[in-house]
Amino acid sequence: QVQLVESGGGLVQPGGSLRLSCAASGFALDGYSVGWFRQAPGKEREGVSCINTRVGLRRFADSVMGRFTISRDNAKNTVDLQMSRLQPEDTAVYYCAAVQYAEFSCPLVPDEYAYWGQGTQVTVSS
């Protein structure tokens, strides 16, 4: 059974950091493109970052460039999103997703992804 499970969300003060983890079961993430998305109340789901695990290419949304990093751990079969200098506007439910992507890149468009996790809440507030 293919499954993605996110963890690591929570409440953090502005300027703080959180590390989200996306764990896969039922398949190996190696060779997949894995994306992190977020959805705030009343807003559309938006791409935050993605990684093509086959070639190592990474992409970031302009809003998180320089603050977020994405990494993979083949041994643990996870892809992590390290978030720093968090701001209230980063508050959202964060989702990870995976797809076997033929291009040497990774998409930041939700419709391109086949498998999704259930999401983890990130709240940035003082």
pLDDT in tens, 29-66: 988 999 999 999 999 999 999 999 989 999 999 999 99
C-alpha 111/C-alpha 28 separation (Å) is: 21
> For residue 113, is pLDDT > 90?
yes
> What pLDDT, on a 0 to 100 scale, did the predictor assign at position 86?
98
User: 47: burial class by Cβ within 10 Å (0-12, 13-18, 19+)?
Assistant: buried
